[in-house]
Amino acid sequence: KGVRRVNSRFSGRLEPGNDLDLVLVKGRSLDIVTEVQIKKVRPWLRTDLEKLKTAFAVLEMAEKLLTDQGRNESFLALIRATLDQLENERRAPLLLLAFDIKAIAMSGFLPNLIECVICGSQGHLNKLVPAEGGCVCDSCYSGQAAVDADDKTKRLVNDLIAVRMRETDSVVADPGTI
């Protein structure tokens, strides 16, 4: 609540990308910050606009997927690892894609790319139908809204799920696929 004031003693510490420990007191409508302890600062975010945009995209996705139902340490670790990797990452769009795919998978929303979600076959999976929750084979596809899912794209998704965030540089990706 008081953090919004320009002369707040906490405002400099509450920059996007910082790892913090906060002590909050329940207010009437907003929680009140009473104590802030900085765990890690990422000052390079303030000097590179492209990396800052990527960091904001990571934080926006995290805000949408995290709930107020308690801490999710593995999800927080993914956010930290992504922001740390962003400092030296040459391919920020690939890093953001890796984060998004891992975050969606951790939330339980990753579509099935291995077999047809209708009949279970593993051949000719060329259409990703979001309403069905994954890929459908040519014989089950009935004209629903779909995205083309070629083998390179499905391989890239699987590679990004399998690799650690600090190893995203090792993933081979066609620039047109990202």
Per-residue confidence (pLDDT) for residue 123, from 0 to 100: 83
pTM: 0.80
pLDDT along the chain (178 residues), means of 10: 58 78 84 85 88 94 78 88 91 92 90 91 89 91 89 88 89 77
Burial of 23 (0-12, 13-18, 19+ CB in 10 A): exposed
d(CA 136, CA 139) in angstroms, rounded, equals: 8
pLDDT confidence of residue 136: 93
pLDDT for 55: 94
Q: What is the pLDDT of residue 116?
A: 92
pLDDT at position 68 is: 64
- C-alpha to C-alpha distance for 165 and 77, rounded to whole angstroms: 10
pLDDT of residue 7: 61
Which two three-digit tokens encode residue 156?
């890239």
- The answer to whether the CB of 158 falls within 8 A of the CB of 113 is yes
| The three-state (H, E, C) secondary structure of the chain, written as one string | CHHHCCCCCCCCCCCCCCEEEEEEECCCCCCEEEEEEEEECCHHHHCCHHHHHHHHHHHHHHHHHCCCCCCCHHHHHHHHHHHHHHCCCCCHHHHHHHHHHHHHHHCCCCCECCCCCCCCCCCCCCEEECCCCEEECCCCCCCCCCEECCHHHHHHHHHHHHCCHHHHHHCCCCCCCC
At 4 the pLDDT is 56
Burial class of 33 by CB neighbour count within 10 A (0 to 12, 13 to 18, 19+): buried
pLDDT recorded at residue 38: 87
Contact 35, 17 (CB under 8 A): no
